[in-house]
Chains A and B, each alone.
Chain A
Amino acid sequence: MPETKRPTVARKTKSARSAAKPVSKPPRSPQNGNGAKARAAEARGKYVYCIIGSSEQLRFGPLGIGSEPADVHTINYRDIAAVVSDTPIEVHDPTRENVLAHERVNETVMRKHTVIPMSFGTVFKTREDIVELLRSAYDAFHDVLVKMEDKLEFGLKVLWDRDVMVREIERQDEDVSKLKQEISVQKGSTYFARMQYGRLVDAALQAHSEKYVAEIFEALRDVAVASRANKPIGDKMIMNAAFLVARDKETAFDQRVKEIGARFDKLTFKYTGPWPPYNFVNIRLKLERAKEK
């Protein structure tokens, strides 16, 4: 019975607004608990996927989150719109299915529109609430939509095989190869030689990785609007980047990534996209309690 988890502090409602939508009014007293339970079971909210610029009502088809893919449509305010679908009011766990549904909708909308993606799991109670969201943050949304117009995000992860690199370093670096030689023939303790070998190899790996990453960023610089380096995940990854690319430079960017792939044949590239510009837009909204009148 989630309805009872709502903050129970008594507060005034603007009479005109609440009168217009009695269904979404929270239970005010224990007496109507049963009614609340019945309502909770059938309560429908609106899941928000993204914000786009559009003055028209749009429909994107049955793609939405939920076991029966809900109809995805817009809720409009002036020249911007929220892309939403009806959903039960509940916490959406980031399961494979849910997360992919969220992404699927964004990718579909993105084909024809500039989107500001919403982070996963945002559900509003009513259509009016979403209009209120669009109204309150209109300037921010409008401004960011203009900035993101016709720009796409691409992901580029670069991985290497550490062992292959270590062998490479042993071949190339004289100090390292000498030490390796020493360790293999030395009698007695090789502790210090091994320590030093480890230090040298680590430093050389680090230097190689930095050099590769710098070269890759440099090679993509003039075909991207901006880039962002995220923390690499795991010890094979040396680069975890996102690039913001103008739609008309998409082919050029694509071509450049492929050239880089051919040039750095010891590295593995994971190239993904187009994505909504998740890595290049961060709008944090907070809810504030409106002042009591």
Chain B
Amino acid sequence: MPVERASGGSSLIDVLDRVLDKGIVIDAWVRVSLVGIDLITVEARVVVASIDTYLKYSEAVGQVGGIAGPKLIDNKTHEAVLAENASLKAQLAAKSGVAKATAGAVAKRRRAE
């Protein structure tokens, strides 16, 4: 089936899906929002309660189904990256001769060898 791209404003449902509770949302006092948010005369101040950006969604890989992160460099699997990480840590520990506390597992493995 040929897929055509439709501009955002062409589907009300798609617009509603986005504009009602996404983006920047102000949890205002209901009574204040009824007449417009009035910061100065009611002596209110704006406080950032939370910020989530796409980083949250790209880091959620594996925890929530269907949410994909950026492609891993060189197509390495998570395990491969962890293994590489461990070996780099081992090299670092070997070079510096310290970092025993942080590289406990590595140290143990080296003892075992």
A residues near B (Cβ < 8 Å) are: 2-3, 5-7, 11-14, 17-18, 21, 24-26, 43, 45, 50-51, 89, 91, 94, 96, 99-100, 102-104, 107, 116-120, 122-126, 128-129, 132-133, 136-137, 139-140, 143-144, 147-148, 151, 154-155, 213-214, 217-218, 220-222, 224-230, 233, 239, 241, 244, 254, 257-258, 260-262, 265, 267-290, 292
B71 touches A221 (CB 8 A): yes
A225 touches B26 (CB 8 A): no
Q: A24-B40, A133-B39 are in contact. Are A100 and B50 (CB under 8 A)?
A: no
Tell me if B68 counts as interface (CB < 8 A to partner A). yes
Q: A107-B8, A269-B1 are in contact. Are A228 and B50 (CB under 8 A)?
A: no
Q: A288-B47, A290-B45 are in contact. Are A118 and B24 (CB under 8 A)?
A: yes
Q: A118-B23, A271-B5, A278-B18 are in contact. Are A287 and B54 (CB under 8 A)?
A: no
- Which chain B positions have C-beta within 8 A of A122? 24, 26, 37
A120 in complex: contacting residue of B20, B51, B52, B65, CB < 8 Å: B20
Tell me if B44 counts as interface (CB < 8 A to partner A). yes
Closest A residue by C-beta to B48: A140
Extra 16 A-B pairs, beta carbons < 8 Å, given A260-B3, A271-B5: A17-B41, A18-B41, A50-B24, A51-B24, A107-B9, A133-B46, A139-B48, A140-B51, A226-B68, A226-B70, A229-B67, A261-B1, A281-B22, A285-B24, A287-B32, A287-B44
B15 in complex: contacting residue of A89, A99, A229, CB < 8 Å: A99
6 pairs from A and B in contact (CB 8 Å cutoff) = A100-B12, A136-B46, A154-B5, A229-B65, A272-B5, A277-B54
Tell me if B55 counts as interface (CB < 8 A to partner A). yes
- Which chain B positions have C-beta within 8 A of A284? 25-27, 48-51
Tell me if B80 counts as interface (CB < 8 A to partner A). no
Assembly CA distance A227 to B41 (angstroms): 42
Assembly CA distance A221 to B72 (angstroms): 10
Contacting residues of chain B (53-112) with chain A, CB-CB under 8 angstroms: 53-55, 57-58, 64-71
Q: How far is the CB of B52 from chain A (nearest CB, A)?
A: 4
A103 touches B45 (CB 8 A): no
Q: A89-B35, A96-B12, A273-B5 are in contact. Are A286 and B49 (CB under 8 A)?
A: yes
Assembly CA distance A233 to B27 (angstroms): 26
Q: Which of B5, B29, B39, B54 has the most CB of A within 10 A?
A: B54
A13 touches B20 (CB 8 A): no
B8 touches A274 (CB 8 A): yes
Closest A residue by C-beta to B10: A272
B7 touches A11 (CB 8 A): no
Tell me if B113 counts as interface (CB < 8 A to partner A). no
Q: How far is the CB of A43 from chain B (nearest CB, A)?
A: 8
- Which chain A positions have C-beta within 8 A of B7? 107, 272-273
- Which chain A positions have C-beta within 8 A of B52? 281-283
A276 in complex: contacting residue of B23, B28, B47, CB < 8 Å: B23
- Which chain A positions have C-beta within 8 A of B14? 155, 272
A254 in complex: contacting residue of B5, B40, B71, CB < 8 Å: B5
Closest B residue by C-beta to A22: B41
B53 in complex: contacting residue of A148, A213, A222, CB < 8 Å: A148
